[in-house]
């Protein structure tokens, strides 16, 4: 180091990591806090007396008495009231120091209080000088952990903030302050930005590309959102400083043309879990992972929670798998003090889950939720009712971006079943996806076809659907795809409803949810509105993100 050679410390478990660098290189403005230290086995001595106020020489005589015993003082604190002087010494010398002070002052002071078993926590960094918020971050992190601060000392240089805590709290105090400044991460040591929330997009299809510019431009009061990473099946693009709207637009345009993220400028190859673990090595502010894929991403979400990220879902699969995995995911979030929000998994932008919680939080009990929760199937049956052929209506829905990547996920009823299971688990339904009675609308034999082949043969299914529609019309009714959810049972399937029914009046991609509760028993609560499409889904996700950003 005397010859300006940097020293790097790396763990044996990960020798290729960046590790810790000790050098003359400065990154003061961005990362003011550099290190923490703790001095254990300290004792606090407090000299108190009402007659000390304004009396010259009290401090000089205090430290002269300690000096006389050859004892070093590591911390000094005095309030402007001058009613007391507090300082710390090694625990083994505390009694000698106290005896010397009592002898020196005799009847001039009220007493000398000794508090043993203390420890001094030290926060160090040259860049701390003139940087607002360092002390606030330290104090708030300790307060959140329930750790009491006994004494505080900071010189005018602002390079060292020293705090005295109970000895048993020394380890936990170091850990929470270390975590607050993210000192274990690349770019750690920053004061933090309570007004900023960093978002990582998992999935960069139609919904992801619609959502990205909304996130980049969104503001809520003083909260500002930044997209720092985007991930697809090929890999990811990440920048801890944030991806500006122009960069996101370029990434989205290339992705729309079929260029995967890994092959774009700044792209890295890797799985989604690899990407989350890589991003988690960097210091980012209040991170949120937004999953807009249609994959089983439970492993990736677990990695996100382990990295201290909140999670927002539009993807239904992670919370409609085996109940044990669903519970494990919730437990992982709770263990880290993180939130898992998933409003968009049921009604896209409609406040269905939010309504459920508001009803329950107000003391109501939801007994049943029923309705038409598929914007895609709502659009399809609306078009069939207007006389369009099945093939024409489904291709129109695909062109507008309404169905899942494989439209048979909608036609099979499984997408509705997953939404119904999410609601069922809110109500206390104990079963699995396989316990739901589901009526599939996929033509017989079509479930075995490749997606492209199925779409190419849509015209073959027009006649059968025309007969269904005509049979309903002859009775003055229309076709709808309905879910009924209770604590004991969930049913999903095709129904014929009277033209006067509220379900018959649904237009386009409208969803409808009917809540029957203790309060809304005779006249159930009905929520109706668009429930499919990238724009409305992105809006629902954005609401969840803003809710977490403002928490």
Contact 506, 512 (CB under 8 A): yes
Structure tokens at 436: 């739901």
For 34, the enclosing helix (H) or strand (E) is none
Secondary structure of 463-524 in HEC code, one letter for each residue: HHHHHHHHHHHHCCEEEEEEEEECCCCEEEEEEEEECCCHHHHCCCCEEEEEEEECCCCCCC
From 41, 419, 521, 547, active-site residue: 419
- What distance in Å separates the CA atoms of residue 477 and residue 504, rounded to the nearest whole number? 8
First to last CA, the chain: 45
Reading the block at residue 150, the tokens are 């006994």
Annotation marks residue 257 as catalytic: no
Give the DSSP letter of residue 340.
Answer: E
Q: Is 205 exposed, middle or buried (0-12, 13-18, 19+ CB in 10 A)?
A: middle
Distance in angstroms (rounded) separating the CA atoms of residues 385 and 473: 8
Burial class (CB in 10 A: 0-12, 13-18, 19+), 144: exposed
For 220, what's the count of Cα atoms within 13 Å in the CB-facing half-sphere? 17
C-alpha distances (whole Å) from 517 to each of 160, 306, 524 are 59, 37, 7
Catalytic residue set: 419
């Amino acid at each position: 180091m005397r010859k300006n050679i940097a020293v790097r410390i790396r763990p044996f478990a990960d020798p290729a990591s960046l590790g810790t660098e000790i050098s003359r290189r400065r990154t003061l403005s961005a990362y003011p806090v550099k290190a923490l230290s703790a001095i254990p086995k300290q004792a606090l001595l407090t000299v108190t007396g009402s007659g000390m106020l304004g009396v010259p020489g009290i401090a000089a005589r205090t430290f002269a008495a300690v000096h006389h015993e050859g004892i070093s003082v590591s911390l000094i604190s005095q309030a402007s009231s001058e009613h007391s002087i507090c300082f710390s010494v090694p625990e083994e010398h505390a009694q000698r120091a106290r005896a010397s002070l009592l002898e020196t002052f005799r009847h001039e002071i009220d007493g000398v209080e000794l508090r043993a078993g203390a420890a001094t926590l030290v926060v160090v960094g040259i860049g701390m000088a003139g940087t607002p918020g360092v002390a606030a971050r330290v104090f708030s992190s300790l307060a959140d952990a329930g750790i009491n601060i006994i004494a505080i000392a900071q010189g005018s240089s602002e390079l060292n903030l020293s705090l005295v805590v109970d000895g048993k709290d020394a380890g936990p105090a170091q850990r929470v302050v270390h975590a607050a400044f993210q000192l274990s991460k690349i770019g750690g040591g920053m004061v933090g930005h309570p007004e900023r929330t960093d978002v990582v997009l998992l999935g960069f299809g139609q919904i992801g590309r619609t959502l990205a510019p909304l996130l980049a431009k969104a503001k809520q009061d003083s909260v500002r959102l930044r997209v720092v990473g985007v991930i697809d099946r090929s890999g990811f693009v990440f920048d801890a400083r944030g991806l500006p709207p122009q960069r996101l637009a370029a990434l989205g345009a290339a992705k729309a043309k079929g260029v995967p993220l890994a092959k774009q400028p700044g792209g890295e190859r890797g799985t989604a879990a690899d990407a989350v673990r890589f991003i988690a090595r960097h210091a980012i502010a209040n991170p949120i992972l937004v999953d807009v894929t249609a994959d089983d991403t439970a492993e990736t979400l677990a990695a996100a929670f382990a990295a201290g990220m909140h999670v927002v879902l539009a993807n239904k699969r992670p919370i409609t798998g085996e109940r044990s995995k669903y519970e494990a995911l919730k437990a992982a979030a709770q263990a880290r003090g993180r939130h898992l929000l998933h409003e968009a998994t049921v009604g896209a932008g409609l406040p269905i889950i939010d309504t459920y919680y508001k009803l329950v939080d107000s003391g109501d009990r939801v007994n049943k939720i029923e309705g038409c929760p598929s914007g895609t199937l709502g659009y399809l049956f609306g078009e069939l009712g207007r006389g369009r052929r099945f093939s024409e209506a489904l291709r129109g829905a695909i062109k507008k971006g309404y169905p899942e990547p494989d439209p048979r996920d909608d036609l099979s009823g499984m997408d509705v079943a997953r939404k119904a299971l999410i609601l069922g688990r809110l109500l206390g339904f104990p079963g699995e996806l396989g316990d739901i009675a589901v009526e599939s609308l996929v033509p017989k034999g079509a479930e075995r076809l490749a997606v492209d082949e199925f779409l190419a043969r849509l015209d073959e299914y027009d006649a059968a659907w025309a007969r269904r529609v005509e049979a309903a019309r002859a009775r003055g009714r229309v076709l709808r795809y309905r879910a009924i959810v209770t604590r004991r049972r969930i049913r999903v399937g095709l129904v014929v409803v009277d033209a006067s029914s509220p379900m018959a009046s649904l237009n386009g991609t409208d969803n409808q949810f009917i809540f029957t509760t203790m309060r809304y028993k005779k006249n159930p609560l009905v929520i109706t509105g668009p429930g499919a499409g990238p724009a409305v889904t992105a809006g629902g996700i954005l609401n969840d993100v803003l809710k977490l950003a403002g928490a």
